[in-house]
Amino acid sequence: MDTINGHTRLYGLFAHPAKHSLSPLMHNLSFQARQINAVYLAFDLKDDLGTAVKSIRQFDMGGVNLSMPFKKEVLPYLDELTPEAQMIGAVNTIINHDGYLIGTSTDGNGFFASLSAKGYPVQKKTATILGAGGAGLSVIAAGASGGLSSIHVFKRHNATFRTVSDTLDHFSGRCGTSIRLYDYNDRKALRKAISESDFLINTTNIGMGDDRSIPVPAELIEDLDPSLVVCDVIYEPRQTRLLQTAREKGCVTFNGLGMLIYQGALAFQLWTGQSMPVKKVEKAIQEKLYPK
């Protein structure tokens, strides 16, 4: 809609920092394309999350997105969590139903929706996933509930290793997917896992902002099978060194742009009941991120 009036519904992002976000571009373009009388704003929220959540009800906002650290901190303020949010203990989307706030996570499901849209469904496939932080757990949970038959997870053997192991055991028991956790430094296990996998997915921040860092030892990259689909949740730079090297080996590769767009598309659907014009949004974001 071109005109903001007394009927305009407010949506937004609670984040810190927030000014860099592409979510306003994505959702406002979609509202306009679908002729929905709504506007999406980015709110740089430094503290007092409770008051911010109260404003969702107070201002009858349609919903909000959240970034870390608010994805976990917001849980006590919500009325309900979806099964996805319960599994990972975090939300990136809140839906407001007449003051009743439901928290969900669209990150992992968005990632796999983007792969499916490109012709790479994951049902009955095997994946090796690097990292088990917020993005990693979202992808692991969505992959387990979405039909992956086996998941190999690699993370640093630090203070959270045992907790993550217990969490993944819970995922496995709930979804029936075989999930195994390994020490990131176990190169023999990493080599074997990659050789058995259909997908290699980096959910760490290794490679973000530079074209030199790589989350997989060079000697393992040399042995990549061309049939392997290699993904990185990073979208800036457009091609991380992992993706560049994998492409040189003949692998199909995807960066994190698809995840960014499709997690937004799922939130848009939950809020409005309408589909996001994905191709139009993708074109606008690519022009913003990767100007010629």
The annotation status of 133 as a binding-site residue, yes or no, is yes
The annotation status of 23 as a binding-site residue, yes or no, is yes
pLDDT score at 163: 95
- Nearest CA among 276, 230, 234 for reference residue 258: 234
* Cis preceding-peptide flag for 226 (omega within 30 of 0): no
The whole-angstrom separation of Cα 143 and Cα 91 is 17
pLDDT score at 209: 83
The annotation status of 256 as a binding-site residue, yes or no, is yes
The annotation status of 134 as a binding-site residue, yes or no, is yes
The whole-angstrom separation of Cα 154 and Cα 204 is 10
Asked if 230 and 216 touch (Cβ cutoff 8 Å), the reply is no
Asked if 183 and 157 touch (Cβ cutoff 8 Å), the reply is yes
The whole-angstrom separation of Cα 267 and Cα 258 is 14
The whole-angstrom separation of Cα 279 and Cα 202 is 25
pLDDT score at 46: 87
The annotation status of 108 as a binding-site residue, yes or no, is no
Using CA atoms of 93, 84, 154, 219 in order, give the dihedral in degrees to the nearest 10. -70
The annotation status of 242 as a binding-site residue, yes or no, is no
pLDDT score at 68: 82
- Tell me which residues are annotated as active site: 71
For 110-143, write each residue's pLDDT tens digit. 999 999 999 999 999 999 999 999 999 999 999 9
Joined together, the tokens standing for residue 225 give: 């099978």
Phi and psi for 150 in degrees, rounded to 5? -150, 140
Asked if 78 and 101 touch (Cβ cutoff 8 Å), the reply is yes
pLDDT at 206 over 60: yes
For 47-80, write each residue's pLDDT tens digit. 899 999 999 999 999 999 999 889 999 999 999 9
| Sign, Cα dihedral of 142, 53, 23, 69 | negative
The whole-angstrom separation of Cα 162 and Cα 81 is 25
Using CA atoms of 89, 90, 94, 99 in order, give the dihedral in degrees to the nearest 10. 40
The annotation status of 63 as a binding-site residue, yes or no, is no
The annotation status of 149 as a binding-site residue, yes or no, is no
Q: Which residues contact 137 (CB under 8 A, 6 or more apart)?
A: 88, 89, 90, 108, 164, 167
The whole-angstrom separation of Cα 214 and Cα 57 is 44
> Around 92, how many Cα atoms within 13 Å sit in the side-chain half-sphere?
24
